[in-house]
Amino acid sequence: MDHTKTYYSTTHDTSNGSIIIEGPLPSAELKKYHFHEHLTAFRPAPKQFEALLSIADFKEGRIIIARTEDTIIGYVTYLHPDPLERWSKFNMEDLIELGAVEVIPAYRGAKVASGLLKVSMMDGYMENYIVISTEYYWHWDLDETRLSVWDYRKVMEKMMAAGGLLPAPTDDPEIISHPANCLMVRIGENVPEESIKQFDKLRFLQRHQYRNMRGGL
């Protein structure tokens, strides 16, 4: 795959003023901005910014940001699944993972995350991908939002739907370990049937492995 990336941008109004949502951006562009110190959901802000700069220059990597004039206040990342994850098993070139989406507390509730996903999908090349997001309740900011697990999931599903991602069944052990966890999926219009079938095997990997074991008896 060529992993073609086409830049898009939009202005998003919030109670704190207008912000720009844009991308995908290469690391050289990201370095022009300050990375807000409250973007700490995954690791300390400087370390997370280093991770984003690295992802931005991966062949398939995509970083979409939300920013004020000079400060990044939110972002979403896309890249191939980690080699240690189940989702990388078949090395599918047309499978990418929404790895992280984060917005600083001051802008939460302003639909910035939904805006990031919408801008992500403006690029027609996204129709060539199966996009997944693995959602685990222990990663959710339940303390800050003061939402229950189930209310947070409703908010999360609504946000993901803005990018066309919907819940999909799977037998992944981590996901099925709690009923609030889920796999979110968007299958692009140009994804070939062969890739869809391969992805279905990935979603139910334990079932297929069990069948193969039975077939060998």
CA angle 50/175/200 to nearest 5° reads: 95
pTM of the predicted protein model: 0.93
- State pLDDT tens for residues 66-123: 999 999 999 999 999 999 999 999 999 999 999 999 999 999 899 999 999 999 999 9
Q: Does residue 217 carry a pLDDT above 60? A: no
Ramachandran angles phi, psi of 205, nearest 5° = -60, -40
Share of the chain above pLDDT 70, in %: 95
Across the chain, mean pLDDT equals 94
pLDDT at 144: 79
Give the bridge partners for 78, in sequence order: 62, 98
Q: Does residue 153 carry a pLDDT above 70? A: yes
Share of the chain above pLDDT 90, in %: 88
Q: Does residue 4 carry a pLDDT above 70? A: yes
DSSP, residue by residue, the chain? -------EEEEEEETTEEEEEEE---HHHHTTSEEPTT--SSS-HHHHHHHHHHHHTSSS-EEEEEESSSEEEEEEEEEPPPTTSGGGTT--TTEEEEEEEEE-GGGTTTTHHHHHHHHHTTSGGGGG-EEEEEE-GGGS-HHHHT--HHHHHHHHHHHHHTTT-EEE----TTGGGSTT-EEEEEE-TT--HHHHHHHHHHHTHHHHHHHHHHHT-
Q: Does residue 211 carry a pLDDT above 60? A: no
pLDDT category, 215, cuts 50, 70, 90? low
Instruction: Give CA–CA dist 83/60, Å, rounded.
Output: 14
pLDDT at 6: 98
Query: Under CATH, what is the fold of the domain 8-215?
Result: Aminopeptidase (3.40.630)
